[in-house]
């Protein structure tokens, strides 16, 4: 029962985020995203594709980050994936491999529209991990320059030990039957074993992981980190020790937004982080 409560709490946090930000329609592009006439500039030569997390959608997940990127001169694109259909409020619950195929088709559409050879990806939670399947197994490594992953489930989650409790009480299966992607993100799942076998990165792609010590969904928080060449693992509290953003909070956090901006174009757009006024 407690395992189900945790999943319900996560959904509740998403719904609360929707209420606070005024977004409700899953198929509505977040502000600044999906201008299909946008052409990348010399300063920001690659379009940015935003990949939302489990039980979320693009309208909710990117309500803050998308306009920040647009206002800083990026061509921004976002998609819904892994739901019953594109308009379903709850997305990213389906098979992660199938979701990666949806991402692959969307990236191809973005490249065709912008005339670019590669994109950068910014993903949250499952959206920071799922693209690695695309990179590794679907040829995405040739089309992606960098993956910036916010609190990604790269090595799965124990949900603070509640997965083990759910197994003991016999309720884990109830949750995973309703949300295949949830089961695939449990630490030790066959999906994650396959994804991480033989190396966690793809040559030629750069990776940044941004996580928080207070992540209550991907636990332990260090399971977000990647090993391999071309990887930067960043702990939010190393920059701002008094920042208490948790799993959902990072998508609304201006400090994280500054970190994303710094990571996309590296030295060309890097600014020191002012924890009190990161976007000022």
**Which CATH number characterizes residue 48's domain?**
3.40.50.1820
Question: What is the model's pLDDT at position 7?
Answer: 42
Number of structural domains in the chain = 1
In a domain, 71, yes or no: yes
- Asked whether residue 93 is assigned to any structural domain, the reply reads yes
Residue 105 lies in a domain: yes
| Helix (H), strand (E), coil (C) string for the chain | CHHHHHHHHHHHHHHHHHHHHCCCCCCCCCCCECCCCCCCCCCCCCCEEEECCCCCCHHHHCCCHHHHHHHCCCCEEEECCCCCCCCCCCCCCCCHHHHHHHHHHHHHHHHHHHCCCCEEEEEECHHHHHHHHHHHHCCHHHCEEEEEEECCCCCCECHHHHHHHHHHHCCHHHHHHHCHHHHHCECCCHHHHHHHCCCCCCCCCEEEEEECCCCCCCCCHHHHCCCCCCEEEEEHHHHCCCCCCCCCHHHHCHHHHHHHHHHHHHHHCCCCCCCCCCCC
280 falls within a domain? no
Q: Does 23 have pLDDT greater than 50?
A: no
1/226: higher pLDDT? 226
Position 22 scores a pLDDT of: 46
- Average pLDDT rounded to a whole number, residues 246-266: 94
- Boundaries of domain holding 98: 2-19+29-268
Does 276 map to a domain? Answer: no
Section 220-236 average pLDDT: 96
Q: What is the pLDDT of residues 69-97, one digit of tens each?
A: 999 999 999 999 999 988 888 899 999 99
Query: Does residue 62 lie within any of the structural domains?
Result: yes
Q: Is residue 278 part of a domain?
A: no
pLDDT at 245: 97
In a domain, 117, yes or no: yes
């Amino acid at each position: 029962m407690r395992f189900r409560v945790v999943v319900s709490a996560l959904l509740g946090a998403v719904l609360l985020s929707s209420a606070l930000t005024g977004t409700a329609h899953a198929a509505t592009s977040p502000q600044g995203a999906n201008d299909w006439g946008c052409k990348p500039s010399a300063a920001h030569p690659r379009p940015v594709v935003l990949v939302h997390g489990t039980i979320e959608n693009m309208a909710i997940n990117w309500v803050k980050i998308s306009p920040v990127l647009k206002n800083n001169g990026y061509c921004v694109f976002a998609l819904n994936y892994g739901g019953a259909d594109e308009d379903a409020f709850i997305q990213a619950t389906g098979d992660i491999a199938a979701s990666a195929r949806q991402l692959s088709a969307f990236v191809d559409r973005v490249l065709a529209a912008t005339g670019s050879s590669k994109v950068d990806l910014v993903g949250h939670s499952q959206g920071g991990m799922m693209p690695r399947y695309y990179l590794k197994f679907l040829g995405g490594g040739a089309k992606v320059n960098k993956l910036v992953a916010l609190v990604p489930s790269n090595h799965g989650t124990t949900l603070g030990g509640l997965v083990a409790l759910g197994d003991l009480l016999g309720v884990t299966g109830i949750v995973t039957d309703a949300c295949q992607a949830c089961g695939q993100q449990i630490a030790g799942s066959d999906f994650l074993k396959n994804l991480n076998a033989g190396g966690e990165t793809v040559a030629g792609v750069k990776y940044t992981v941004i996580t928080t010590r207070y992540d209550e969904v991907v636990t332990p928080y260090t399971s977000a980190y990647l090993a391999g060449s071309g990887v930067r693992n960043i702990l939010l509290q190393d920059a701002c020790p008094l920042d208490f953003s948790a799993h959902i909070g990072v998508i609304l956090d201006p400090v994280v937004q500054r970190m994303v901006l710094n990571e996309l174009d590296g030295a060309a757009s890097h600014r020191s982080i002012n924890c009190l006024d990161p976007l000022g």
